Structure 1
Amino acid sequence: MNSIVLPAPIQAAAVADRPEPVVRLTDVHRRFGATPALNGVSLEVGKGEIVGLIGRSGAGKSTLIRCLNGLERADSGEIAIEGRRIDRLAEQELQPLRRRIGMIFQHFNLLSAKTVIDNIALPLKIEGVAKAERLKRARELLDIVGLSGRERSYPSQLSGGQKQRVGIARALAARPALLLSDEATSALDPETTHSILALLKDINQRLGLTILLITHEMEVVRTIADRVAVIEAGRIVEEGPVWSVFANPQSQVTASMLRSVRPQLPEAIARRLSTAGKHLLLAVDITSPDAQSVLFDLAGLGSKTVRLLHGGIDHIQGQPVGRFFISVAANDAERIQKFLTSRLARVEVLGHVADHA
């Protein structure tokens, strides 16, 4: 059955008055043989923002991050960090700019033969900073990441979450303008992931640090990002505030990736859908500030013809985001849909059911 989709109130769009970008990519292309890894990527990350870049394996995330830190060269397009183009700089010219970019990795990349404090101070040692100054900075960072007193420990003596905290401290050693997080929580358990994300958010707020999160986990983006960009087949297919994209995904790949964090139609009900029946099954998405009152009003409006089957209301970035599934008597469906759209809801007809499911 063809779905009927009524107009959505809010489209995922760029945020007005976005801060001056720390990162600007303009129509960036990168091919490996006949395969386009990046196929016209344009993206901005403003000063102090946390932006999540999310995509499936092979979507182009790793190539994009390697182009940002100068490990890959774009075939065409422009890449600028803090207003300076880096896509055509010689290797020697790239070195000072790389110090403005901190990196944290999925598997920590710590040197096992060095202590925690020496791992953190390593970028400063390479830069030629005096020993006393680099150790002072490393101790400051140990305090920031919650590892004071562990400076003489070795990586083998740390948990996964502690290792990642050391990795974050090391990435901050040279006071970067941009922090790139490359799947930094993928190897961690859920509780540790939550603590690391809370740490990143704290660092962002305390230091005003710009963060680009490269991830395939929607929950990571939902937890701390301000905006999200979805990459697929080397292109940005969707971009906007996290709450808006979560509430009203515009691309098929985004909707698919959101399945784990948005209410979905229970399989037992989906199996009962047909092309004819006494009741229509509707999927309802709503981002109105009074989303909860819509449910109460709907219950009163259609007390005998409407039944809530599944779903609920969440809050993302302080915005109420509702998604629920209702069964509506077919002869009352038009009235109910008009009411919902008048309250700024998006309604999709999924099919018929013989009864109220």
Structure 2
Amino acid sequence: MTTLSSRPGNGQTGPADDLVIALHDVHRRFHAVQALDGISLEVRKGEILGIIGRSGAGKSTLIRCLNGLERPDRGSIRIEGTEIAGLTERALQPLRRRIGMIFQHFNLLSAKTVEENVALPLKIAGLAREERRARARALLDLVGLADKASAYPAALSGGQKQRVGIARALAAEPALLLSDEATSALDPETTRSILALLRDINRKLGLTIVLITHEMDVVRAVADRVAVIDAGRIVEEGPVWRVFSDPQAQITRSLLQGSRPQLPETLAARLGEPASGSTAILSLDAAGQAVVDGVQATLARLSPEGVRILHGGIEQIQSQPVARLFLGLPGEQALVDRVLSDLSAQGARLEVLGHVANPV
């Protein structure tokens, strides 16, 4: 059986020659629409980068620029050190073989078997039949479909079709895998299995992956780093755990609403000004083991004074604890100020959301 090559590295830091993607000040306009407005971005070997934004934010234009299907109006796009913005279509062909693509709707050829679909890029590249077949079967084994080699796409589930799409994208041993909303047509359970497969491939092969998505849960499940795009600009980027715990841009906070605990509507509807005997409602965000440990110890110390956790929790993102909590405490200003001071000293970020009349 053909063996699958492995590339080292997790892509987080490294020298300039470790860069797979380097974009600088990339612009692209379509008539009155500024699709990309000064995008600068780097992706290193072995990294999984999630690029997230709403529809129309510029995600699709960006991914088409990365594989040379769109040409920027100005700016630099380097793939493995090669400037591609000015290349002819002929000169782009070898580079495109270094880039695999997986799509939302699979794009499989219905008249070809699973094995033939996977082997198609190798046939185009001129490999001998036996070599194509061996490579295709090794890839089908990698994605868990070794028993489906002779099946046709119509006989497969959506998740199986996407696994075939992933195997086909890996056929030419690319340096870069681009995923364009590859899970948005799948149910949640199948999505989880596809994301686990992508993470497994990343670890086994050291493959660099860029995921284009509008779903924060996809980013949280698989990405090392996230870049948030809005109106053609990168408005925020960083490690996933840090962006989830401390979103800076309004668009990021909006995208995260479905992925982070929110104040229950029954409490939010009652928020008002301080009054005698009212309860102050605070939001608390904290991330990192030392910070979360300090917050928990401080809350335990403050609990005899009536400080309570009303909602929220602590989750693990990239092996880092991330806390999002909503606190209730007696509304006396002196106590509110002390709670804010004591928890802020531990590294937590707090906001007084308002007060509600008792009981809470």
Closer/same/farther in 2, CA of residues 287 and 148 from structure 1, 3 Å limit: same
Alignment of 1:146-225 (within 5 A): 146-225=144-223
Is contact 1:337–1:347 with CA below 8 Å preserved after alignment? yes
Match of 1:307 in 2: 308
CA distance in 1, matches of 2:35, 2:240: 25
Amino acid in structure 1 at the alignment position of 2:289: P
DSSP-derived class of the 1:259 partner: coil
Is contact 2:52–2:213 with CA below 8 Å preserved after alignment? yes
Deviations 1:274-332 (A, max 9, x none): 12233321100011414256235313324233121100101100101001001122321
CA distance in 2, matches of 1:215, 1:135: 32
Amino acid in structure 2 at the alignment position of 1:207: L
Is contact 1:307–1:356 with CA below 8 Å preserved after alignment? no
Amino acid in structure 1 at the alignment position of 2:185: A
Shift in Å, 1:349: 1.2
Is contact 2:274–2:331 with CA below 8 Å preserved after alignment? no
DSSP-derived class of the 1:107 partner: coil
Is contact 1:161–1:196 with CA below 8 Å preserved after alignment? yes
Structure 1 gap segments, 5+ residues each: 1-13
- Whether 2:137 is the aligned partner of 1:134: answer no
CA distance in 2, matches of 1:235, 1:15: 22
Deviations 1:65-106 (A, max 9, x none): 011111111001000100111011011100000000000000
- Whether 2:346 is the aligned partner of 1:343: answer yes
CA distance in 1, matches of 2:184, 2:271: 37
CA distance in 2, matches of 1:17, 1:249: 26
Deviations 1:21-52 (A, max 9, x none): 10111110000001100001111111000000
CA distance in 2, matches of 1:64, 1:128: 30
Amino acid in structure 2 at the alignment position of 1:115: T
CA distance in 1, matches of 2:108, 2:56: 26
Match of 2:6 in 1: none
Shift in Å, 1:356: 5.2
Determine which of 139, 142, 145 is the counterpart of 1:144: 142
Moved more, 16-25 or 175-184: 16-25
Match of 1:111 in 2: 109
Determine which of 222, 226, 229 is the counterpart of 1:228: 226
DSSP-derived class of the 2:35 partner: strand
Amino acid in structure 2 at the alignment position of 1:285: D
Match of 2:62 in 1: 64
CA distance in 1, matches of 2:101, 2:288: 38
Is contact 1:125–1:134 with CA below 8 Å preserved after alignment? yes
CA distance in 2, matches of 1:239, 1:64: 16
CA distance in 2, matches of 1:258, 1:244: 13
Moved more, 290-299 or 50-59: 290-299
Shift in Å, 1:17: 4.6
The count of aligned residue pairs is 344
Amino acid in structure 2 at the alignment position of 1:287: A
Closer/same/farther in 2, CA of residues 269 and 106 from structure 1, 3 Å limit: same
Is contact 1:18–1:46 with CA below 8 Å preserved after alignment? no
Match of 1:295 in 2: 296
Is contact 2:46–2:208 with CA below 8 Å preserved after alignment? yes
Is contact 1:15–1:240 with CA below 8 Å preserved after alignment? no
CA distance in 2, matches of 1:69, 1:39: 18
DSSP-derived class of the 2:262 partner: coil
Match of 2:241 in 1: 243
DSSP-derived class of the 1:355 partner: coil
Which structure carries more relative contact order (alpha carbon 8 Å, separation 6+)?
A: 1
Match of 2:48 in 1: 50
Is contact 1:50–1:213 with CA below 8 Å preserved after alignment? yes
Give the superposed CA RMSD.
1.5
Shift in Å, 1:180: 0.2
Is contact 2:140–2:164 with CA below 8 Å preserved after alignment? yes
DSSP-derived class of the 2:305 partner: coil
Amino acid in structure 2 at the alignment position of 1:289: Q
DSSP-derived class of the 1:303 partner: helix
Match of 1:5 in 2: none
TM-score in terms of structure 2 length = 0.93
Is contact 2:228–2:234 with CA below 8 Å preserved after alignment? yes
Closer/same/farther in 2, CA of residues 258 and 143 from structure 1, 3 Å limit: same
Structure 2 gap segments, 5+ residues each: 1-10
Amino acid in structure 1 at the alignment position of 2:352: V
Amino acid in structure 2 at the alignment position of 1:304: E
Identity score, percent: 64
Is contact 1:288–1:345 with CA below 8 Å preserved after alignment? no
Match of 1:281 in 2: 281
TM-score in terms of structure 1 length = 0.94
